[in-house]
Structure 1
Amino acid sequence: MTQESGEVWEKFAVALADMARDLLAQDSVKATLDRIVDHASVLINGCDEAGILTVRRGEVSALAATSDVVRRADRIQQDLREGPCFDAVAEREQLYTIQDLRKPHAKWSHFAPELRKLGMGSMMGFLLFTEDDALGALNVYSRTPNMFDETAQQAGWILASHAAVAFSASRTHQQLAHALETRHEIGEAMGILMERHGLSEENAFSVLKKASQDHNIKLRDIARKVCETGDRPA
């Protein structure tokens, strides 16, 4: 490693540490994802645009994007059901690249020309994953062909690894907060039923649960209605 190369990686490491702190400071999953793509466009050499998508049961969902161009690229992958990021999630591959979108591409023969029409010259797709879960894929785009060399690929992979951890932590935090909020509402609704309708704790919960099952409505929503009206569920 040359001195110049070492200095570049040292600066990248410092910037990556700043990114990690920034991601942990976000107050929602959406804000975390938005910051991930913003950091990718700055920290990965040659990156002009970035986005995050996920594939569930063959359906592509765009989670974050730096521009409408990225959103259109995501829709193209959805419509054609092909593309490096689609494959990164579907096949659990950690990295896919298209170095030159001007040339025919055997694997993504339909997707590559459409992306070129959007003004893109090359792209990379990184799987966002942790030990327990595959979360989605980070898309990195450049308007210039052959922009993403080995250094850019390594930087993108490192950034994606840190981003996946922050994404997973943010999602877990949100799920926990949601669960605690749900528990609080259910407890409050049970208290209302016990006080106003003379039910025991066990019977109050049974009433909420049965109403949820009979009407196919989430237990939390039943509890919220009881909190708002004070009425016993039908």
Structure 2
Amino acid sequence: MTATLGALHERLAGVVLVGRELPEVLTEIVQISRGVMPGADATSITLIRDDRAFTAAYDGQIAMDADELQYERGYGPCLDAGRAGELFVVHDMATEQRWPDYAVHAAERGVGSSLSVPLPFQGATIGALNNYAFRSHAFGDADVALGEEVAAFVAIAVGNAEAAARASDDVLNMRRAMASRGVIEQAKGILMERYKITAEQAFTLLTHASQRHNVKLRDVAEELTTTGVLAGA
């Protein structure tokens, strides 16, 4: 078990998080997870956004099929793990009673057992790591320990991607703000020269035009710098 955990940590440490799209990162992680977890024949990651669940990555078609069965019904071990933050093991899908309708259809597709591990993120749960096996009773304590390690790393990857997205949005918003400020300053200069007024008076003219026509201040300024026309003047 210690050797397997060590191998898992070594492989996860080699996953590059920066400069890659999240689906690509998560696909690599599920491939690693499936490779080191003794009981798993297929692995997937379910993410939940605004109460909508979707499979962000998978390795093995049966994982996607089993995930979709749960999404169609609105319940199942992976959804309940993702929503409640609890770990669920289905030892024998053929006799499972907690999600009977799902279990029947999953067993028909060849799922014998499953392990669903919640993804913890900043005190909440954002989804689940789902592991499926063709045989029953495939998942034991060693699989649970490995699954929890992988789930923690998935949460780090998702958090890193969200932080990068926020940073990108911040940069974009800053650039937009700088562009808006630039065109407004240019428009003020035009009005100051045209009417021999102060910067404050020029800004007042722009804001009044914006309010009268219910148009953004930047758009009023851009029209003036482009056409020389001040709206309403």
Instruction: Give the TM bin, normalised by the shorter chain.
Output: 0.7 to 0.9
> Which structure has the bigger radius of gyration?
2
* Counterpart-to-counterpart distance in 1, 2:42 and 2:160: 25
* Counterpart-to-counterpart distance in 2, 1:26 and 1:36: 16
Partner of 2:73: 80
* Counterpart-to-counterpart distance in 2, 1:81 and 1:63: 17
TM-score, normalised relative to structure 2: 0.74
Partner of 1:97: 89
How far apart are residue 196 of structure 1 and its match?
5.3
Deviations 1:133-159 (A, max 9, x none): 322111111112111111111111122
Deviations 1:15-38 (A, max 9, x none): 313313314355222222222211
Residue of structure 2 aligned with 1:10, choices 3, 7, 10? 3
CA contact (8 A) 1:48 1:141 kept: yes
* Counterpart-to-counterpart distance in 2, 1:192 and 1:48: 59
Output aligned runs, 1:1-234, within 5 Å: 8-25=1-18, 27-93=20-86, 95-103=87-95, 105-195=96-186, 198=189
In the superposition, relative to structure 1, how do residues 170 and 26 fare at CA in structure 2: closer, same or farther (>3 Å)? same
CA contact (8 A) 2:120 2:152 kept: yes
Deviations 1:142-197 (A, max 9, x none): 11211111111111112212222232122212221232123223322432343357
CA contact (8 A) 1:40 1:50 kept: yes
How far apart are residue 90 of structure 1 and its match?
1.8
119-128 or 22-31, which moves further after superposition? 22-31
| Amino acid paired to 1:128 | L
CA contact (8 A) 2:48 2:127 kept: yes
Pairs aligned (count):
209
* Counterpart-to-counterpart distance in 1, 2:4 and 2:59: 23
CA contact (8 A) 1:29 1:171 kept: no
| Amino acid paired to 2:126 | L
CA contact (8 A) 2:93 2:111 kept: yes
RMSD: 3.4
Partner of 2:196: none
CA contact (8 A) 1:124 1:139 kept: yes
* Counterpart-to-counterpart distance in 2, 1:50 and 1:91: 20
How far apart are residue 128 of structure 1 and its match?
0.5
| Amino acid paired to 1:34 | T
* Counterpart-to-counterpart distance in 2, 1:183 and 1:15: 40
12-21 or 43-52, which moves further after superposition? 12-21
CA contact (8 A) 1:60 1:74 kept: no
How far apart are residue 113 of structure 1 and its match?
1.3
128-137 or 153-162, which moves further after superposition? 128-137
